[in-house]
Amino acid sequence: MRRRDFIALAGVAALWRPAVAQPKRPTIGVLLVGNREPFDSEFRAGLRDLGYDDGRNVMLEYRSAGGNLTALPDLAVDLVRLNVDVLVASETPAVAAAKRATTTTPVVMAPAGDPLGTGLVASLARPGGNVTGLSAATAELAGKSLELIREVLPGIHVVAALADPSNPFSKSFLREINQTARGLGVDVLIVNVRSPNDFESAFAGMVRDRAGAVVVQPTLPRKPPIDLALKHRLPSVSGNRAFASEGGLMSYAGSLADRHRNAAIYVDKILKGAKPADLPVQQPIKFELVINQKTAKTLGLNIPATLIARADEMIE
């Protein structure tokens, strides 16, 4: 056979070679209450540590409510309709929406506050159902926030608790504050906000009722309460590290960077065949106290040296 004929026949054979099936890339749905950062960078880093890369061997599908909690149920249903292999949800309202949207798709909390108290899981050791992941332990830290205020203002009598009643986490948040307040001899003024338009009147009510400080539910938008607390000269604390970084007086919280990154570990286990019902919920082990010294000076407050010594970060 001439060389030219052999090459031609080889080319025809190549055309008839059966296509090799490409391995299916799992799809990870991500449901967020607000902005993608800092969740996105930490979660992707966690995936990379485990050998996953978006677009190469997994696909990421993001949906964000842009701070509008009423949008979460439809966004969760949308991700379920895409037939995602795992649904990762960050913050209690997003996890609750994901849990209502599906009983079969695995849901990873990344994280959620008080998942046991809000009914997201049956137990921390054996979650049951299709939901597992990470707890932010923020309900327990609500009481700690009140203790921090008392250290800065030992003579305080009334502290406001700013909460969103549409968020299932608010019940646990307020329960912990009230329990701690009884031990400290402090009165708690519960102030609810249901929409962005409620913040102005909420803070006006705190001032009218002589609240000396405010503990802010960590899942609320940060900017309105930070700005209004400064305007009305109210010391403010929240269980969200970014709260102090952006102008609140203090924050005490588990490391969210760890929570976001570790969510990838749950995704990896589920993609490899583990069932959410058998994966224990992980509690935070690292907590950070951040104090905004600039805000303290604006409010004319002297932060006790003992508190400064315990702080993980002082923002000047």
Predicted local confidence at residue 258, as pLDDT: 83
Nearest alpha carbon to residue 212 among 305, 298, 291, 149 = 149
Q: What is the CA radius of gyration of the chain?
A: 24
What DSSP string runs through 204-238?
Answer: HHHHHTT--EEEEPTTS-SHHHHHHHHHTT--EEE
Provide the residue type at 253 as one letter: A
Q: How many helices (H) and strands (E) does the chain have?
A: 12, 12
> Are the C-beta atoms of residues 166 and 192 closer than 8 Å to each other?
no
Q: What are the residue ranges spanned by the domains of the chain?
A: 27-135+255-285, 139-254+288-315
Predicted local confidence at residue 298, as pLDDT: 96
**Fold entry, domain 27-135+255-285:** Rossmann fold (3.40.50)
One fold for 27-135+255-285 and 139-254+288-315: yes
Q: Which two three-digit tokens encode residue 227?
A: 């700005």
Query: What is the mean pLDDT of each successive set of 10 residues along the chain, which is 316 residues long?
Result: 48 48 82 89 96 96 91 97 97 94 97 88 94 83 92 96 89 92 96 92 96 93 94 94 93 84 96 97 88 97 96 93
Q: Which two three-digit tokens encode residue 113?
A: 């506050």
Strands 250-254 and 236-238: parallel
What CATH number does the domain located at 139-254+288-315 have? 3.40.50.2300
Predicted local confidence at residue 10, as pLDDT: 47
Question: Where do we find the tokens 């305080």?
Answer: 156
- The conformation of residue 2, written as its DSSP 8-state character, comes to -
How much is the pTM?
0.77
Contacts with 120 (C-beta within 8 Å, 6 or more apart), sequence order: 92, 95, 96, 99, 109, 112, 131
DSSP 3-state assignment of 62? strand
